[in-house]
Amino acid sequence: MDGSVPGAAATYSHWRDAPEPPPGLAADTSTEMTLKAAADAGRWLDPYHVVCNNHIDADGLLSLAIACRPEVAIPHARLLIGAAEAGDFSSWPGREPFRLMLRLHQLIRDEQARGIGWEQRSCTAVVDDLVVLIAESAQPDRERDSQVRRVEDTIARLANRDGFSIDTYGRIAVVTWKRRHGHRSDSFLTVDDDDDLPPWAIGCAVPEHLFQLLAMETPDGTVYQLDAPRYSWARVVNLPHVPWPDLSDVRDRLQAAESGSCRWVDRPVSARLGFVCQLASAQGDTTAPSALAAAHVVYACRSALDASAV
């Protein structure tokens, strides 16, 4: 479903390297594609007796559940789509879908802890117990409650510019703040993460189609990370297509100007720092402070993105 599986008779995936789905099924997530297929199950689902995927995440698990039990899934269509978008695109879908995403992440984490076979156990659990998981996601839970509060509090703080500065320049939004706990770029399996800037909050403060330069100020300098729009890795239908630019020239210019100990990296190296990370100040496989002034980095990134759009 949510990936490319060699030899599959049909593929309903939003991954760019996967075969394209039938035009009538195309959607932003594989969950939504499979829900479209479920509306005409006799045509799109019933001919197939095995459903498989090549990775485990919220969108993939929900796609499997819909394909196997469409009659159970269809009444919860909007909830499932929101949970899939929160998982794959770090978008804020509201409390209920977000809590379902977190419940799925808890399931995956717990099955991983049990060891070998966790992938199949995760698939089986979601297919067999989707309604139970939906009900559980709405119940009080320390981890889920904590993460919801964290994201909603950050959304409010971003809106009020409380501890955050947000500026927009053409194709780029710059978010600046002082480090408290740190920031983790990827959120695909997050459950309860003490992050200064949970990625689900960012899209509530800046247009989701913009590149995001995250500038986290620390006593040793500023940690810079330029992320592409968080959905831009996927083949989308309702969201604007945003190609990833070649930033090797700006990487070299920033490195030449750098007086600190960090190294400026772009893709593919920057992919180790974050799934949509395009450029960053780093040491090894982690982001690291730069001695460069924010105005210098913003101008370099903005100029490169403007040039790539011509």
Parse the chain into domains and list their residue ranges: 23-139, 160-308
- pLDDT band at residue 10 under the 50/70/90 scheme: confident
pLDDT of 187 strictly over 90: no
pLDDT at position 298 is 97
Exposure string of 144-166, with b = 16+ CB inside 10 Å and e = fewer, is beebbebbbebbebbeeeeebeb
- pTM, two decimals, is 0.94
pLDDT at position 310 is 59
Average pLDDT over residues 266-286: 95
| Dist CA 147 CA 191 (whole Å) | 7
pLDDT digits (tens, 9 = 90+) for 78-90: 999 999 999 999 9
pLDDT digits (tens, 9 = 90+) for 131-156: 999 999 999 999 999 999 999 999 99
- pLDDT band at residue 1 under the 50/70/90 scheme: low
Q: By mean pLDDT, which of 50-59, 144-153, 263-272 is the weakest?
A: 50-59
Looking at the DSSP assignment, which residues form a beta bridge with residue 169? 172
| Dist CA 141 CA 215 (whole Å) | 32
Looking at the DSSP assignment, which residues form a beta bridge with residue 290? 222
* DSSP string covering the chain: --S--TT-S-----BTTSPPPPGGG--SSHHHHHHHHHTTHHHHTTT-S----SS-SHHHHHHHHHHH-HHHHGGGHHHHHHHHHHHHH-----HHHHHHHHHHHHHHHHHHHH-TTHHHHHHHHHHHHHHHHHHHHTS--HHHHHHHHHHHHHHHHHHTTSSEEEEEETTEEEEEEE-SS---S--TT-SS---SS-HHHHTTTS-TTSEEEEEEEETTEEEEEEE--TTTTB--SSS---PPP--HHHHHHHHHH--SS-EEEETTGGGGT-TTEEEEEEETTEE-EE-S-HHHHHHHHHHHHHHHT-
pLDDT digits (tens, 9 = 90+) for 65-121: 999 999 999 999 999 999 999 999 999 999 999 999 999 999 999 999 999 999 999
pLDDT of 6 strictly over 90: no
Average pLDDT over residues 212-230: 97
How much is the mean pLDDT over the chain?
94
In contact, 199 and 212? CB cutoff 8 Å? no
